[in-house]
Chains A and B, each alone.
Chain A
Amino acid sequence: MSQPKVKMYSLSTCSHCKATKKFLGECTIKYEFIDVDKLEGDERKAIIEDVKKFNPRCSFPTIIIGEKVIVGYKEKEIKEALGME
């Protein structure tokens, strides 16, 4: 079974974001991430609008696994979305 696409909006300073990256790495899950705090100007504004589409509260990490949106480092939900449980 192929892995669903995983994309994460994160902050470089956030402990929950770091924990999520670590977890995905340990599970050898391929994922893309954008550290929103590292962006500036128009690019930052545009990405914030993207995050809000998935998570209106714009909190981090916002993780998109296939069609599913998970807000926060919720290991159980992440595993379920990845079909690991």
Chain B
Amino acid sequence: MTPQELYDRMKKVQEAKGYYFNKDKERTFELLEALITNREKYGYMGCPCRLLSGDKELDRDIFCPCVYSVPDIEAFGSCYCNLYVSKEWNEGKIPHEYVPERRPPEKMPY
């Protein structure tokens, strides 16, 4: 799969839920490329901004889009990676704050 194919596929699914790709295309495509790299390396599309364990079950919470993206978009308008964002974030209506790591330390298998 190419980054463009992934973009097209996810755009449709995520926009229906109210989540948008970061309008900074360079950043977005860099992250989509990283997701494809992770899938080739680990067999699943784990979060590019977190260290993956290589164990699919242990990393299930950080399959992209991760379970933390929903509360992060709610609170900050963006997921941890700045890949998925709210409409308001893209339009610059809310400040682009640094999104802190929400994944609980006990979930990190290292």
Task: Decide if A58 touches B110 in the complex (CB within 8 Å).
Answer: yes
Contact digits for A47-58, partner B, Cβ 8 Å, 1 yes 0 no: 010000000111
- The answer, yes or no, to whether A64 is at the interface (CB within 8 Å) is no
Given known pairs A13-B34, A13-B37, A48-B110, the reply for A74 and B51 (CB within 8 Å) is: no
Contacts between the two chains (Cβ within 8 Å), count: 51
* Residue pair B98, A11 in contact (C-beta under 8 Å): no
B58 contacts A by Cβ under 8 Å: no
Task: Report the count of interface residues on A (CB-CB < 8 A).
Answer: 19
A36 to B51, CA, bound (A): 8
Q: How far is the CA of A42 from the CA of B95 in the complex (A)?
A: 41
Residues from 1 to 57 in A contacting B, C-beta threshold 8 Å = 11, 13-18, 36-37, 45, 48, 56-57
Q: What are 11 A-to-B residue pairs whose CB atoms are below 8 Å?
A: A13-B37, A14-B48, A14-B49, A14-B81, A15-B30, A16-B82, A36-B51, A48-B51, A58-B105, A60-B51, A72-B98
Seen from chain B, the residues whose Cβ lies within 8 Å of a Cβ on chain A are: 27, 30-31, 34, 37-38, 48-52, 81-83, 98, 100-101, 105, 108, 110
